[in-house]
Structure 1
């Protein structure tokens, strides 16, 4: 294939498109402001019970007292303020969030409210409800980002959004299960190698990362195929694998650039303390960058679709 999807042009188009569709920022802004000001639904009591059991096991295996104390402090500090509402940030399809995994103890206006959810089946129920809401909002975020990137595309009926939600839900389950099945054996190998030698552990880590990337990159555009091409979850997986294969090097560069940009800017946005007004700047900056990157990915995918359409026209003409 002579034509290639344009990497930097897609990133530039992401900025241009967002400047005309600023309402898309409301999704990540709204989610992070919710995490900042809403009550925290914690599982601190359950975490403490689990920690007590782990401590007993660690003491029986004669682990270092300093290592145990450090692990206890980290574990207790994190789960004291960790909120089940973090499930609003769904993967792989969802609204990006700066604060979803951050155990906020306060906000710029004072301490946060805490509600312990450690008892009964409330944990599972809360996770399911938050995940469902997160995926619904994530579907709308993806759908409208796609629409913004393709303003000339045919207008789709509302039932298309419902179909997209169902297929994105199935896709999320399939991809999470696949990542778990792939990661589990590599995690065991990494643990084994790391116990033998830190150098072997590092090598195993890089091999694992390369394998996961080789799986993630071809499937990265499966949600785009659902939203843009109205495909089912399994059709989208097949399309993503087939369509990306001829452009694997280009797609690898594009996805890697997006990951690097998101990672490095997140380090900056996460700098302010929980009670600092500068955290609002971080929330806005994160919303801006992640939305640009999402829209850019739809522009990149549209380039790929256009190339295949041109090939189809040429083949039909001949």
Structure 2
């Protein structure tokens, strides 16, 4: 099987799924001007290449705070620690940076108990962890994701934006909601009968729960697809130090850039972190030099290319 995205129709299908990950194939076919059978065939091919539509919890609407952990490890231990973090149910994504000694981990913790989280207490006592910095995500401007999204085709109005951990009203969850989150984390396009069977509820009840979660902003849908199949081979974490007066404007500007899959204001020495996807190192250079380097208020920029995504877009509701 050809391991590439073949043409413009594949790319438009990815975009359509980003606009509405649960849209019926007949609607997508109508919007794209092709037959439903063609869309189904293309979707199945992309699925075989690794495409996932993933249901994601929006942390701030569920009483959760999202933290980004940045670890420097001994060269022989980074991979092992990354795999151990990936096995934890409270981690959202885990990434190894180039060089093999630095890794990143996103974790959701209850706002009320975020300073007593066992992971935040355990990691500093791990001998192979040379240093650790924990950054609370204060405002997520775009994404709340790993860097593996088809960023080029992101629909900004449908991206999971987590507008802070304290201001949003918490959405209470029942047992059915928890089941739906777990099932949609595996397949965001699971059918109503499939979800109803998993939750032991009627399809009409499941539809009401989905409408409530999505309407309240507690559930979002994301497209997970390897950008290398789209020709983007340079996934990079970007750390920025921005003057406070320009932090919001820079974050909102990054959210409009098609290269950026994720951007958030965070605590720590760097107050803004982003994930970008580029075709080549030269494209990354041009982006830093001509796009973000020209924005007012930026005092320093650090880049850390991604070596491997160990875990991405997993359910993380404590």
TM-score (norm 1): 0.22
Q: Which has the higher helix share?
A: 1
Q: Which has the higher strand share?
A: 2
| Higher Cα radius of gyration | 1
Provide TM-score, normalisation by structure 2: 0.22
